[in-house]
């Protein structure tokens, strides 16, 4: 069990209040585990999530990005890929005014999670072949206005492998959005630095009116993660071809 020592309050580099905690290495625990635990305990976003009743610190990433870009609007239909533990779905439901009578948010994850008012949760691996249709069925056959993805592959400890696996998740999320978004819709997804270069970035620029890379303050500075926000979906290729012919 961790032994805490020291303490007191302070502020981090962004001015957020932090309750300082020092963790001693317990017998049988690696020093790397102790460093991780101390970082978690001293993380202002972890502390705020606990204080404000949010499910995880990642909730603040969506809050910060939406406060800046304002992509979640009343009445929008939302798909949240890899939604566990539910922080993003919870915020999305509040901001689009989703409720149990008219659920507008659908989340999917193979990890279990507690119910969220106004959110339909599918206990399912998004990579399964039947997952996309299940998501659309859960939206009542309607097309989503925005697809959110904070998916990241379980880490193996091998940086190159972890990077490639997360890039793959970004690619399948982008493909789902391309095949199912309503025209004019938006796509927001986690990527690793370098994960939207070359072919994928070219495809996003072709399919959307504008592309923005963003790293919200809640994303740890040392993390290679960032987010790509694509808005103004131009429609599926066949629809664009029909429009051009007309």
State the chain's mean pLDDT as an integer: 82
Task: Please state the separation of Cα 62 from the chain's center in Å.
Answer: 7
Domain spans of the chain? 3-42, 59-240
* 145 contacts 129 by C-beta, under 8 angstroms: no
* Binding site as annotated, residues: 86, 88, 109, 125, 150
The question of whether 190 is a catalytic residue gets the answer: yes
**What top-level class would CATH report for the domain 59-240?**
alpha beta
Q: What percent of the chain has pLDDT over 70?
A: 74
> 48: which residues sit within 8 A by CB, 6+ positions away?
16, 54, 57, 60
What's the Rg (C-alpha) of the chain? Answer: 20
Q: Which of 36-40, 123-127, 140-144 has the lowest mean pLDDT?
A: 36-40
pLDDT band at 45 (very low <50, low <70, confident <90, very high): low
Supply 128's token pair: 């399964």
pLDDT at 122 over 50: yes
DSSP state of 101: S
- Determine the average pLDDT of the residues in 28-49: 55
Q: Give exposure, 97-120, as e/b (b: 16+ Cβ within 10 Å).
A: ebeeeebbbbbbbeeebeebebbb
Residue of higher predicted confidence among 50 and 206: 206
Annotated catalytic residue: which of 61, 178, 190, 193? 190
* Binding site as annotated, residues for S-adenosyl-L-methionine: 86, 88, 109, 125, 150
Cite the beta strand spans of 131-207 per DSSP E: 146-149, 186-192
């Amino acid at each position: 069990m961790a032994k805490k020592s020291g303490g007191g309050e302070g502020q981090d580099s962004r001015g957020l209040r932090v309750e300082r905690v020092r963790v001693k290495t317990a017998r049988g625990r690696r020093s790397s585990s102790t460093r991780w635990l101390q970082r978690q305990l001293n993380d202002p976003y972890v502390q705020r999530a606990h204080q404000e009743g949010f499910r995880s610190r990642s909730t603040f990433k969506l809050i910060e990005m939406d406060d800046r870009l304002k992509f979640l609007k009343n009445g929008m239909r939302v798909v949240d890929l890899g939604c566990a533990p539910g922080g993003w779905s919870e915020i999305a439901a509040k901001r689009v005014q989703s409720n149990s009578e008219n659920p507008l948010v659908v989340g999917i994850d193979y990890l279990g999670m507690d119910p969220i008012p106004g959110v339909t949760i599918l206990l399912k691996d998004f990579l399964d072949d039947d997952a996309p249709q299940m998501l659309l069925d859960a939206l009542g056959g309607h097309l989503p206005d925005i697809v959110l993805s904070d998916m990241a592959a379980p880490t193996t400890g091998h940086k190159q492998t972890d990077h490639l696996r997360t890039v793959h998740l970004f690619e399948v999320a982008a493909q789902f959005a391309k095949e199912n978004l309503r025209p004019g819709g938006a796509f927001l997804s986690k990527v690793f630095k370098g994960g939207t270069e070359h072919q994928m970035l070219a495809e996003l620029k072709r399919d959307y009116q504008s592309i923005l890379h963003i790293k919200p303050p809640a994303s740890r500075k040392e993390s290679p993660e960032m987010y790509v926000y694509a808005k103004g979906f131009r429609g599926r290729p066949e629809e664009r071809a029909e429009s051009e012919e007309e």
